[in-house]
Amino acid sequence: MLSCLTPNAAMVDIAEDQASGARGARRRQESRRRLLAAARKLFVERGYHATRPQDIAREAEVGNGTFYLHFADKRDIFLAFSEEACAEIEAAIIGPLTGPQPWNIRILDTLQAALAFEEGERKVIAAALMDLSIIDPGPEEPTVRPRDRLAKLIAQSLQEGMDKGEIRGDVDPELIAHSLLGLVEQAAYHAERSNLSKDKVRETLASFVIAGLARV
């Protein structure tokens, strides 16, 4: 009888261990999600320097020890927040940026998508795209900064236009890409203060960019 029950008991123990492990993994995922949401809120509202790890833990309603189970320090969670926010920006612009349309239409559609995202998340973008290497230098910088990754996507699209002969060939696509990021940020900020419509901003920026990049 015992020999018949032992394998079943062992299987029950294994199943319970697996269920316990799954619950633990879900709790860890949830606590990380709450910490990142809290960090996003506080970095946007208070700024980087005025936000402390214990503030983030309190906002997330977890213990300070839980914070350090997931992140080494404030700098570490800021980088995670920045990566998350930039992934959202990428998701907003990747469709129009890499579509099959001519480059001038892609520019117009990409600006529209970027401005729409900027309108709802301007403060998040401003916080996420800060250059952490300047405000809080660390021993090891990210191999690719989130802002650089966004610029690379835009530069690749510009390079494709250059290769097809649609865009003038005497420009540096990476320089233009970084300039476009700053242009959209500042234009959206000015539009909000001046009560300009998104369509007006998009058309003005598009005509400026297209005129500057078009082959003569």
Distance (Å) of CA 199 to CA 123, 129, 153, 203, 204: 21, 25, 24, 6, 8
- Domain ranges in the chain are 12-71, 74-216
Per CATH, the number for 74-216 is 1.10.357.10
**Average pLDDT of the chain to the nearest whole number:** 84
Q: What pLDDT digit, counting tens, does each position of 88-113 carry?
A: 888 888 888 888 888 888 888 888 88
Phi (first) and psi of residue 114, to 5 degrees: -65, -40
Q: Higher-confidence residue: 124 or 51? A: 51
Task: Give the 3-state secondary structure of 85-127.
Answer: HHHHHHHHHHHHHCCCCCHHHHHHHHHHHHHHHHHHHHHHHHH
> What's residue 35's pLDDT?
97
d(CA 148, CA 30): 29
108: nearest Cα among 24, 191, 215, 211: 211
What CATH class has 12-71? mainly alpha
All residues at 6 or more sequence positions from 62 whose CB lies less than 8 Å from its CB, including other chains: 31, 34, 35
Interatomic CA distance for residues 157 and 136, integer angstroms: 32
DSSP alpha helix (H) spans, the chain: 2-46, 53-60, 64-70, 74-97, 103-128, 132-135, 146-163, 173-194, 198-213
Helix (H, G, I), strand (E, B) or coil at 18: helix
pTM exceeds 0.95: no
Same CATH fold assignment for domains 12-71 and 74-216: no
Instruction: Tell me which residue of 179, 177, 148, 184 sits closest to 160, measured CA to CA.
Output: 177
What is the reported pLDDT for 184?
86
